[in-house]
Amino acid sequence: MADRIYHPNAELAKSAHCKSFDEYKKMHEESIKNPEIFWGEIAKQFYWETPSSNDKFFSYNFDITKGDIFVKWMEGASTNISFNLLDKNVKCGNGDKIAFYWEGNDPEDYSRLTYRKLLEETCRFANVLKSKGIQKGDRVAIYMPMILELPVAMLACTRIGAVHSVVFAGYSSDSLAERMLDSKAKILITADGVWRGEKQLNLKKICDDAMDKTKLHNHEIDTCIVVSHLRRLANPQGKSTTDKNQNGINGTSNGKNCELNISWNDERDYWWHEEMEDADTSCYPVWVNAEDPLFILYTSGSTGKPKGVLHTTAGYLIYAATTFKYVFDYKQNDVYWCTADIGWITGHTYVVYGPLANSGTSVLFEGTPFYPDNDRYWSVIDKYKVSQFYTAPTAIRSLMKFGDEFVKKHDLSSLKVLGSVGEPINPEAWLWFYNLVGHGKCSIADTFWQTETGGHVITPLPGATPMKPGSATFPFFGVLPELLDEDGKLIEGEGEGYLVFRQPWPGMMRSLYNNHERFQTTYFDRFHGYYCTGDGARRDADGYLWVTGRIDDMLNVSGHLMSTAEVESVLAEHPFCSEAAVVSKPHPVKGQCLYCFVTPNDGNVFDKKMQDELKKLVRERIGPFAQPDIIQHAPGLPKTRSGKIMRRVLRKIALGDKNVGDTSTLADETIVDLLFQLRPQQA
C-alpha cells in the first residue's frame, strides 16, 4: 500500500509554479550545476542596497581536512529583511493586503493585520528597541505566545540589525535562562500570560525566574518588555488602557475573566503598549551584510547542552522565500496556515519569513487542536478558507483518534496542499490526511528538514512530484543528498545509510553561536566533505528517499527534538537517583516517547511517589513536552566492562522484546533478565 504512487491533481499541476516532474528535474539539475545563476536569478526579486559581485556570490568549504568549514552566499551584498518583507509590499500596492489573521485560543478572540499596519508596528517597536539601547548585532531574547506582537518583535530586530533568539514559550525558566546566558541576551520580550485550551499560563513569572537565574551567573537582563495580552482579552475593545486598539491591532475579544498575579520590577519591566504609545511609526532600516547574523535558534544537542543554531541574512531570505513558493505552491489569493509555534524553526521560516517574503496571507493561531472541541483545526480551515495547511504527524495521529465525524462537519473544499513536518509520517496517517482531509485531491508535502537546514531540503512539489505515502521523496533545489555507509562509502542506487549533503544550499546554518568548533565536530567530522544530518534514510528502487529517523542519541517526541542525555542529567540531579539511562520508545501518537531507567541511591524506595516526582522534575527543568512516559526501576544498568551503558539492550527492554542480541561484552549479564522482570505493567 505504501508503495502505491499518488499523482498530483492534474488541475493543480496546470497552474502550479512547477508543473511536472520533468520540469522539477531540469530545475534541480540547473540548481546543482550552476548555483550562482539559479539563485542569482531568484535574488533579483529582492532589494539589495549594495548588489553582490558575481565572483563572491557563493563560496564554501565542506571538508574539515582542508581547513575551517564555512558557507557564504552573496558576500558583500547588503540588504534589510524587514524592508524586503514589508516596505516593498506596501510600495507595490499590497499595503491593504492581510499579512496575518490572528485566531485566538478562544474562537471569539480574533484580529487581523495588514502589511501597512505590520510595517508601522514593526517600525514603532524597532524605535522602542533603539530607545532601550539595542544596536546592530545585539541579541534580543523573545519568549512569547502566538500573538501578533511576536512577528512584530522579530521583524523589529531585523529592522535595526539586532539578532533575535526566540525561545519557545513552553520551555521552563531553567531552559530560558540557559539560552539567554549562552546568547548573552541584552533584553527579554514576553507577555503577561496566555491561554492554552482551558489552562492559563503565567509567562511573566517564568521570565522573572529565568532572569533571577541568569543574574546568579553574573548576566543581568536589565530590560524586560511585557505585552499585556491576557488583560486586553479580559477587557474587550476600548474599555481598558491595555486594549488591543492601543496597539493599533484591531480585534474582538470575548472578555473572559482573567486574574493573573504578576510581579513587577519598576526598574526593569516595561509594558509594551506604554512604550509603543509615543514611538514613531517610521524607522529607517539598518542595511546589513548578506552574511550578518539574522537569528539564533536553539536546538537539542546529543551532549545535552543546547546548540545555538546561527542563520544569516541573504541566503536564509532567498531560501525561505523559494521553498515557501514552490513547496506550498503559494498563489496571491491563497490563505495559508502553518500550525507550528513560532518558537520552533518551522514557525520562523514558514509562519514569519517565507510567507511574508511572498506577500502571503496567513493564519496565526494561538490555541490547540482540541479546544473548544476536537474539530478546531477543521473549523479554522473552514472559517478562513485555508488553501495550504501545514501541520505535524503527531497532530494528525491525535486527531484521527476522535473519528471522522469531526472532519466531515466542516467544508474543507478550499484546501489545495497539505503539509507535514517534524518526523516521518506513517502511511496510515498520510492516507487519512490525503483521503479524509484532502478529499483525495490535495497534494501532500512531506517536508524533511531541520533547524540547521533553515528550510525544506527533501520534499515533493505539489504540482510535480508523484507521491508515496511516508516518503519525503526528492531534494529541493540546491540540495544534493547522498547516503553513506558506516565507513563513509557512497551507497548508490537502492540502500540505506547515513543521510548527508554534499554541497551547501543558501538557507543552511553557518555556525553554532560562539562555538564554531562544536559546529564543525557535530556536523562535519563524521564524514569529511559532507554535512551530516544525524538521520538515517533509505533509497528505494525508484530513487525515493525515506527518512528512517535519528541515528544518534536524539529522539523526537511529538515533533520536539530532544536528547536522551539532557533528560538523564536532569534525573541524575535528584537526590533519590544514583544513575539514570534514558531511551526512546515508539509511541502511537507522539511518534516516540521517553522511557527512563532509574537506579535509586542506597536506602531509597522506588515507588509511585518517586516516579511522579521524577516526572515532575523533568517537566520543570525542560518543559511539559519532555515529561517521560515510563520511569522504570533499575537496580543496575547493563554496562560493558569499560562502563559504557549498552543502550541498544535498554531499547529492547523498553519494547519488551527478548531478542536483545549479543550481551557477552556486558560486565554482568544477569541484569538484563532482572530488568525484564521489573518492566512495569503499563509499559
Residues near ligand WT7 (CB under 6 A): 299, 345-346, 421-424, 446-451, 472, 533-535, 547, 549-550, 556, 561
Q: In whole angstroms, how close is the CB of 448 to ligand WT7 at the nearest point?
A: 4
| SS3 state at 447 | strand
Q: Which of 578, 553, 549, 580 is nearest to 564 (CA)?
A: 553
The CA distances from residue 38 to 28, 314, 443, in Å, are: 9, 15, 26
Q: In whole angstroms, how close is the CB of 425 to ligand WT7 at the nearest point?
A: 7
| Alpha-helix runs per DSSP H in 244-333 | 272-277, 314-327
Closer residue to ligand WT7 (CB): 256 or 518: 518
d(CA 364, CA 113): 10
Closer residue to ligand WT7 (CB): 288 or 567: 567
Closer residue to ligand WT7 (CB): 121 or 423: 423
Q: In whole angstroms, how close is the CB of 513 to ligand WT7 at the nearest point?
A: 15
d(CA 515, CA 111): 41
d(CA 203, CA 144): 8
Q: Which of 347, 337, 366 is nearest to 196 (CA)?
A: 366
Q: In whole angstroms, how close is the CB of 530 to ligand WT7 at the nearest point?
A: 15
How far is Cα of residue 371 from the mean position of the Cα atoms in its chain?
Answer: 22
Closer residue to ligand WT7 (CB): 253 or 453: 453
Closer residue to ligand WT7 (CB): 422 or 463: 422
Q: Which of 650, 642, 469, 466 is nearest to 555 (CA)?
A: 650
Strand-strand pairing, 481-484 and 531-539: unpaired
Closer residue to ligand WT7 (CB): 327 or 547: 547
Q: In whole angstroms, how close is the CB of 586 to ligand WT7 at the nearest point?
A: 14
Q: Which residues contact 612 (CB under 8 A, 6 or more apart)?
A: none
Query: What number of helices (H) and strands (E) belong to the chain?
Result: 23, 31
Q: In whole angstroms, how close is the CB of 458 to ligand WT7 at the nearest point?
A: 8
Closer residue to ligand WT7 (CB): 326 or 448: 448
Q: In whole angstroms, how close is the CB of 352 to ligand WT7 at the nearest point?
A: 14
Closer residue to ligand WT7 (CB): 112 or 560: 560
Q: In whole angstroms, how close is the CB of 534 to ligand WT7 at the nearest point?
A: 6
Count other Cβ atoms within 10 Å, centred on residue 479: 25
Closer residue to ligand WT7 (CB): 242 or 346: 346
**β-strand partners of 114:** 98
> What does the angle CA 257 – CA 246 – CA 211 come to, to the nearest 5 degrees?
70
Q: In whole angstroms, how close is the CB of 351 to ligand WT7 at the nearest point?
A: 12
- The percent helix, strand, coil of the chain (3-state, each to 5) is 35, 25, 40
Q: In whole angstroms, how close is the CB of 464 to ligand WT7 at the nearest point?
A: 18
Closer residue to ligand WT7 (CB): 423 or 568: 423
Show the cell assigned to 386.
485555508
Q: Where are the beta strands (DSSP E) in 305-357?
A: 307-312, 335-338
Closer residue to ligand WT7 (CB): 9 or 563: 563
> Grid cell 544477569 — which residue?
670
| C-beta separation of 407 from 437 below 8 A | yes
End-to-end CA distance of the chain: 30
Q: Which helix (H) or strand (E) holds 431?
A: helix 427-432
Closer residue to ligand WT7 (CB): 287 or 625: 625
Q: In whole angstroms, how close is the CB of 595 to ligand WT7 at the nearest point?
A: 18
Closer residue to ligand WT7 (CB): 242 or 420: 420
Q: In whole angstroms, how close is the CB of 46 to ligand WT7 at the nearest point?
A: 24
Closer residue to ligand WT7 (CB): 193 or 308: 308
> What does the angle CA 392 – CA 393 – CA 398 come to, to the nearest 5 degrees?
105
State the angle between helix axes of 173-183 and 608-621 in degrees (0 to 180), rounded to the nearest 10.
30
Closer residue to ligand WT7 (CB): 353 or 448: 448
Count other Cβ atoms within 10 Å, centred on residue 443: 29
Q: In whole angstroms, how close is the CB of 556 to ligand WT7 at the nearest point?
A: 5
Q: Which helix (H) or strand (E) holds 600?
A: strand 591-600
Q: In whole angstroms, how close is the CB of 134 to ligand WT7 at the nearest point?
A: 27
Q: In whole angstroms, how close is the CB of 483 to ligand WT7 at the nearest point?
A: 15
Q: Which of 441, 445, 440 is nearest to 418 (CA)?
A: 445
Q: Which of 84, 38, 135 is nearest to 313 (CA)?
A: 84
Closer residue to ligand WT7 (CB): 450 or 520: 450
Q: In whole angstroms, how close is the CB of 176 to ligand WT7 at the nearest point?
A: 17
Closer residue to ligand WT7 (CB): 309 or 653: 309
Q: Which residues contact 616 (CB under 8 A, 6 or more apart)?
A: none
Q: In whole angstroms, how close is the CB of 340 to ligand WT7 at the nearest point?
A: 8
d(CA 359, CA 84): 10
**β-strand partners of 420:** 391, 446
Q: Which of 253, 300, 258 is nearest to 147 (CA)?
A: 253
d(CA 680, CA 658): 15
d(CA 102, CA 65): 50
